[in-house]
Structure 1
Amino acid sequence: MLLRPRQKVFVERAVDALDEHGNTLGVAPTGAGKTIMLSGVVGRMLEGTDAKAAVLAHRDELTAQNVLKFAKVNPKISTSIVDSRTKSWRGRTTFAMVPTLARSANLDLLPALDLLVIDEAHHVAADSYRRIIDKARDRNPDVRVFGVTATPNRGDRRGLRPVFSNVADQISIGELIASGHLVPPRTFVIDVGAQEALKSVRKTVDDFDMKAVDAIMNTAPITEAVIRHWREKAGDRQTVVFCSTVDHARNVTEAFRDDGVAAGMVHGDMGEAERRSVLRAFEKGDTQVIVNVAVLTEGWDHQPTSCVVLLRPSSYKSTMIQMVGRGLRTVDPGEFPGVVKTDCIVLDFGTSTLLHGCLEQDVNLDGKTGDGEAPTKDCPECAAQVPLALRECPLCGYLWESAGLGDGEATPLADFVMSEIDLLKRSSFRWCDLFGDDAALVANGFSAWGGIFFLHGRWHAVGGAKGQRARLLAVGERTVCLAAADDWLNENETDESAHKTRSWLNQPATERQLQYLPPQFRQDFGLTRYQASALLTFQFNKGAITNLVASAADIGRAA
């Protein structure tokens, strides 16, 4: 497997920081490929040694999937698992679940480690993590500690500096939107008569006083207004709603149902089986709206979710980022045929966006966050005061042009978008414009190929590999499709087979290649060997590509 260029930079910076400091933290949001990158770091640190590593996580649902990803990046490194069912340290890298490992009997079996990796590293302030870290340092005082997290600034303001002295790298949400690995959020701040009252709600140790929030937001007129605005702006989208209390969530769920919308509810007091049943109904599409109370903030994703409704404020930016992040994933059409997602609508009926502004965050290892409201600007159309980082006025829809920004103003998220030329340059593969009309691009590896094709106003990404049928990878925006096709090549190729700069690519097409190409290409004396290879790939797979793209276009029109 081949890492994306940005992932390689992340790994290199992390390894350099571990060599220099003995510990480091990497910040990477949803969509960055956290497991791939931490696997890359482990591979680099264990390469050419007999060193031993452990990867800590606090949930075991994805352990098997993470081990498979690790094996793709590091096929020569053996693995083992320590969880509630299995307790084996035989592998050179062990994936260990914190709740299991933190128990004294299991912790006593911890071997001397050379590298301890902590996924969701913002949890390291918890006693269970500290016990494991302390034991690892007892066993080997020189053990290196590497953490990865999307949200380094904890809600309780407990800093991570007792474990991490430095930050090696931070990938921003803007970068991932620019590279096509997340969809952009479109945020609307909507006052349904509650904003002034919400501004007076006191903060507790963890967040705003949710009982006080409930007293303001949990009323029939406000809930009716919320559903009316939702229908106007996002009524055709699968939606996740964040509420303040269980009673609030129950009333909102009933209001959606009374309005004819299939809705489900999950909260922390529900049994595990009942919660899974409700989530399964949402994921199957049997319900359109899922309402929750502090259950789906972290560690849950359903790709087709393209609307996030905030019916509670968040006093900490990290909480807001986690909630909005539930709707930023791109969609795999193999899992969700006919679903096309180009953005995520965020309906903020509270004060989080006004308080925190954009979704990017500054890392502070001491747990300090900025006090006061985010910097603002005035909308020239409606005179509303909005966060400086917004590009679209949430009240009247006015759009700020990037050239109109004054000196010292923050750059809106939309202005992170790179030109496609930059995206193509960053790829490890050479992309060919097949017919010179910019409607079909193909790239080849030794084991796989990927392509993007334009039809009926949408782009479609298709990929194939030896021993595998061609498959649809993405549908929607060009950048998202290009990212999906490039990731397919990365997944199926290696550094040795990524031949973007090899000299033979520019040599003239061979006689054998010309023999199989249509007549019009045989007269192109400037045709290179690689261009001929891309054309042949398209020709040999034209039937499968045509069927996949046409079927996706037909499903999309029907949907």
Structure 2
Amino acid sequence: MKLRQRQVDFRDRCVAALDERGNTLGVAPTGAGKTVMLSAITGHYIQQGANALIIQHRDELVDQNRRTFEAVNPRATIGLFTADRKEWGYNATFAMIQTLARAGNLEDMPAFDVVTIDEGHHAAADSYLKTIDTAMKRNPNTKLLLVTATPNRGDKKTLRGVVDNVADQITLKELIEARLLVRPRTLVLDIGVREELRGVKKRANDFDMSAVEAIMDKSVLNDRVVEEWGKVAGDRQTVVFCSTVLHAQHVAEAFRSAGIRAAAVWADMGDASRRETLEAYDRGEIQVIANVAVLTEGWDHQPTSCVILLRPSSYQSTMIQMIGRGLRLVDPERYPGVRKDDCIVMDFGTSILMHGSIEQDINLEGKGAKDCPECASTVPAQCAECPICGYEWPKPEPEEDEPTLLPAGDGEDAAPSVLHDFVMTEIDLLADSPFRYENLFDGLVCIATALDAWVAVVSYYGRWHALGGGRMIGVKYLADNSDRFVAMAAADDFLRIHGDSDVGNKAKRWMSQPCSDKQREHLGLSPFEAIGVTKYQAACRLEWKFNERLIRRLLENSMRMAA
């Protein structure tokens, strides 16, 4: 598996921090390929003869992370330490923290050169601290790597004392610019309660949600939310974040009263009932799902293309988590016929006005580091909030020419309604990719090959479709989008995973060598027509020729599914 350049940068920065300081935290949101990067960093040390312990907190993560690790490090030996299997002595051991942290198991744990913790914000919990302490006693030179999307915990426990630096932080903005997440369209709506919400007091971890409920949970306001949603997102699957259980239930009732299939989920409802509700939402039987504090993290539903915020967020990280639920691209194999080009974010509270929208996050590329005045940890220079202790740097006063909220109506007092400050930087994936894409049919088809696999991006009925195939894979439909570069990103990732990145490298000699006689014959070219055609160009044309019929069939099926 070949890493994207941003993943390579993340790996190299974490390795440099581990070599210099012995510990580090890397922050990467959903869509960045966190497990791939975690595997690459750990694999770097295994290649040097180290042994590694990789810790997870859920059973499904053990299997998921192990499979990704194997793809990134195919030569490493792997053991498991779970309730069913207790294996030591391998290059890498994947462990469940609940099993590992038991006293008898910790006593038997051997020394490790590297300890890697997925969802690293959990490392402040007692079970993790005991495990880390045991590892350090066994080997004082153990390198400690934490990787997470959400470093700041709701219980206010910080990572101070666990790690003392942040090697890198990938932002949602970077992923959106790279077409690895969809673009958010952010709407800020004032339904007459903004000033009241600004008066709500903070408690230990968040705003006083009972006070928010008293302001927001009124039938007239819930009906207005449904009305405004219907104007801009009435055909979209939607997740709503509410202040309390009653608020979530009443919001769901308001949607149902308007004829919308809606339901609510919350922490204390039965596991079976919550699972059935979420499965119904996943099947498309429910259009709107209201929740309180259960879908903020650890839940992904790719077709969700609208997020409604009916509660303020005291932390920007919480706001970004909620908005992130709607930014995932759609896998066409999992959700055939579902199309998603963007995500509408409707904020009826004060979160975006308080923190600034995620579009305003600063790209950290090459910006250096700074020390947190609260915990003295070293973090990337453009962090607005310390990922280790939660300290928030004062926000600079906006310049006069900075983008502002535009009023919804006429007059100076009109309520702000739409954020117009998003600037999308187009990433040239053709230049960034390690593979060379060849244009066919005046650019209507872009195709690349890496010997073991190939990809094609095809313009068909006004949309761009990505398809890929290989010797042991068959031909697969990968993605479609109105944006060519989103389809290109899906194709490029497929080729990185399934292709031979060395053979497909742009710098390889076959990229410029004349096509062979056999290639020329298969393409039906005369010696004169073959002048200037390289081996690589011929290989791309042959991939299209051999697979065109099946590609056309998959394209026609995708259009029927979407109809």
Structure 1 and Structure 2 fold alike (TM over 0.5): yes
1:152-181 per-position Cα deviation (integer Å, ceiling 9, x unaligned): 344455442312222222222122112221
2:144 is the alignment partner of 1:139: no
Select which of 501, 512, 524 maps to 1:506: 512
After superposition, residues 130-209 of structure 1 pair within 5 angstroms as 130-155=129-154, 158-209=157-208
Q: Which runs of 5+ in 2 are unaligned?
A: 362-382
* 1:370/1:16 CA distance change after superposition, 3 Å: closer
Aligned residue pairs total 534
Q: CA deviation at 1:547?
A: 1.0
1:334-388 per-position Cα deviation (integer Å, ceiling 9, x unaligned): 11111111111111111100000032353523420145798585456669999xx
Letter in 2 for 1:28: A
Q: Which runs of 5+ in 1 are unaligned?
A: 387-392, 401-411
Partner of residue 440, structure 1: 445
* 1:222/1:100 CA distance change after superposition, 3 Å: farther
In 2, Cα distance between equivalents of 1:4 and 1:544: 29
Letter in 1 for 2:521: Q
In 2, Cα distance between equivalents of 1:274 and 1:57: 26
Larger mean Cα displacement after TM superposition, 27-36 or 259-268: 259-268
After superposition, residues 365-376 of structure 1 pair within 5 angstroms as 365-370=388-393, 375=398
In 2, Cα distance between equivalents of 1:6 and 1:12: 10
2:290 is the alignment partner of 1:285: no
Letter in 2 for 1:68: R
Query: Contact 1:28 / 1:148 at 8 angstroms: preserved in 2?
Result: yes
* 1:495/1:163 CA distance change after superposition, 3 Å: farther
In 2, Cα distance between equivalents of 1:373 and 1:354: 14
Partner of residue 550, structure 2: 544
Letter in 2 for 1:223: N
Query: Contact 1:5 / 1:428 at 8 angstroms: preserved in 2?
Result: no
Q: CA deviation at 1:543?
A: 0.5
Select which of 469, 484, 493 maps to 2:474: 469
Q: CA deviation at 1:554?
A: 3.1
Secondary structure of the corresponding residue to residue 40 of structure 2: helix
After superposition, residues 258-337 of structure 1 pair within 5 angstroms as 258-337=257-336
Q: CA deviation at 1:207?
A: 0.4
Query: Contact 2:31 / 2:175 at 8 angstroms: preserved in 1?
Result: yes
Partner of residue 116, structure 1: 115
* 1:396/1:203 CA distance change after superposition, 3 Å: closer
Letter in 1 for 2:45: M
In 2, Cα distance between equivalents of 1:380 and 1:276: 41
Query: Contact 2:197 / 2:349 at 8 angstroms: preserved in 1?
Result: yes
* 1:86/1:260 CA distance change after superposition, 3 Å: farther
Partner of residue 239, structure 1: 238
Q: CA deviation at 1:27?
A: 1.5
Partner of residue 404, structure 1: none
Letter in 1 for 2:173: G
Letter in 1 for 2:466: A
Q: CA deviation at 1:494?
A: 4.2
Q: CA deviation at 1:84?
A: 3.7
Partner of residue 226, structure 1: 225
* 1:194/1:371 CA distance change after superposition, 3 Å: farther
Larger mean Cα displacement after TM superposition, 110-119 or 100-109: 100-109
In 2, Cα distance between equivalents of 1:81 and 1:67: 9
Query: Contact 2:187 / 2:417 at 8 angstroms: preserved in 1?
Result: no
Partner of residue 376, structure 2: none
Secondary structure of the corresponding residue to residue 548 of structure 1: helix
Letter in 2 for 1:124: A
Query: Contact 1:194 / 1:216 at 8 angstroms: preserved in 2?
Result: yes
Secondary structure of the corresponding residue to residue 212 of structure 1: helix
1:476-503 per-position Cα deviation (integer Å, ceiling 9, x unaligned): 0211110110110111134433322112
2:384 is the alignment partner of 1:362: yes
Partner of residue 462, structure 2: 457
Select which of 418, 421, 432 maps to 2:426: 418
Letter in 1 for 2:15: V
| CA RMSD of superposed structures (Å) | 2.4
In 2, Cα distance between equivalents of 1:518 and 1:57: 55
Letter in 2 for 1:368: Y
1:270-319 per-position Cα deviation (integer Å, ceiling 9, x unaligned): 22222211111111111111111111111110111111111111100110
In 1, Cα distance between equivalents of 2:155 and 2:411: 29
Partner of residue 70, structure 1: 69
In 2, Cα distance between equivalents of 1:111 and 1:339: 49
- Aligned-pair identity (%): 48
Partner of residue 340, structure 1: 339
2:97 is the alignment partner of 1:91: no
Letter in 2 for 1:295: V
In 1, Cα distance between equivalents of 2:205 and 2:175: 29
Larger mean Cα displacement after TM superposition, 100-109 or 183-192: 100-109
Partner of residue 348, structure 2: 349
In 2, Cα distance between equivalents of 1:55 and 1:77: 13
Query: Contact 2:265 / 2:290 at 8 angstroms: preserved in 1?
Result: yes
Letter in 1 for 2:504: A
Larger mean Cα displacement after TM superposition, 120-129 or 230-239: 120-129
Q: CA deviation at 1:123?
A: 2.2
In 2, Cα distance between equivalents of 1:307 and 1:105: 48
In 1, Cα distance between equivalents of 2:385 and 2:503: 37
In 2, Cα distance between equivalents of 1:450 and 1:269: 46
* 1:454/1:491 CA distance change after superposition, 3 Å: same
1:3-60 per-position Cα deviation (integer Å, ceiling 9, x unaligned): 22221221122112211111111111110101111111111111041x2211122222
Secondary structure of the corresponding residue to residue 541 of structure 1: helix
Q: TM-score, normalised by structure 1?
A: 0.90
Letter in 2 for 1:497: V
Secondary structure of the corresponding residue to residue 203 of structure 2: coil
Letter in 2 for 1:367: G
Larger mean Cα displacement after TM superposition, 152-161 or 533-542: 152-161
Q: TM-score, normalised by structure 2?
A: 0.90
* 1:44/1:394 CA distance change after superposition, 3 Å: farther
2:126 is the alignment partner of 1:127: yes
In 1, Cα distance between equivalents of 2:55 and 2:456: 37
